Amino acid sequence: MVLELDTRQRAMLQEMGVHVWLPERVPVAATGTLAEEQSASPAPPPGQPQRTQAVAVPVRSASAPGQPLALQDMDWDALAQSAAICQACGLYAGRKQSTLCAPATAVQADWMVVGDPPDEDEDHLGQPFAEQAGVLLDNMLKAVDASRNGQARQGAYLCNVVKCRPPAGRLPQAADLQQCAQYLQREIGLVQPKLILALGRFATQLLLQEHPEQASLPLGKQRGTVYHYQGIPVVVSYHPKVLLRASADKAKAWADLCLALDVLEGAHLQ
């Protein structure tokens, strides 16, 4: 018995990975794909509706991995929405929600405080410097007459160096930091800070990229020096989470804060 298969049936079997032995007298199976066979189907007679074949189209994120992000003209709302769905690096897999939040009003703050990647509390609340670490930072800022809700000289804009909590067991890589730096750069453009306070290992790693001889040093040896990131003075210090565990370092953090205040006051005198 000869298995009679028309062209469409043979193409369907080929797409499914089913190999059928055919006698030599049977014409060789077409090499086109199922989609090609369907596209070659004749048009229906006049008066009958055209039947369309659903084709799976891959969803392309506006933030494809490793690609430049078009953020330079975004306002706060658009920037926050972009961060909420961003898949430009592998860190998004650990995210419940982005910590880049659109402020209720336009922000111009002289202080920009950049912290390490979000932890569980920050990820849960969708904001940087949450819970006890946030309380400590608020008290530190209060000591220099600034707050996260203030404006200009009394204003401090708080953010994470990356906007997503890394997946469990995953540390941000240099490529992750560099990719997400595009969000930080747009935040800088909107906030127009006069000083950046970098708190923590990963925040310092990114913000000292213009100073490679210092970027690889332990944070304790990076302290006490004024650096620059895209022309903005940068002072580095310990993250509040570290200070909660190591109270002895609070005096060093206060010295760093005083250095930052001196830099800021000097900028106002220029």
Cα–Cα distance measured from residue 185 to residue 162, given in angstroms and rounded to the nearest whole number: 11
| Res. 52: pLDDT tops 90 | no
Model confidence band, residue 30 (pLDDT cutoffs 50, 70, 90): very low
Q: Where do the DSSP E strands lie in 43-149?
A: 109-115
Cα–Cα distance measured from residue 170 to residue 72, given in angstroms and rounded to the nearest whole number: 29
What's the confidence (pLDDT) of residue 45? 52
pLDDT tens per residue across span 133-156: 999 999 999 999 999 989 999 999
Residue 102 in contact with residue 148, Cβ under 8 Å?
A: no
Mean of the per-residue pLDDT values for the chain? 83
pLDDT tens per residue across span 161-183: 999 999 987 999 999 999 999 99
16 or 222: which carries more pLDDT confidence?
222
* Sheet containing 152-160: order of strands: 152-160, 109-115, 195-199, 232-237, 227-229
Residue 163 in contact with residue 180, Cβ under 8 Å?
A: yes
Beta bridge pairs of residue 113: 158, 197
Tokens for 35, please give them.
């989609």
Domains and CATH numbers, the chain: 76-269 (3.40.470.10)
Model confidence band, residue 14 (pLDDT cutoffs 50, 70, 90): low
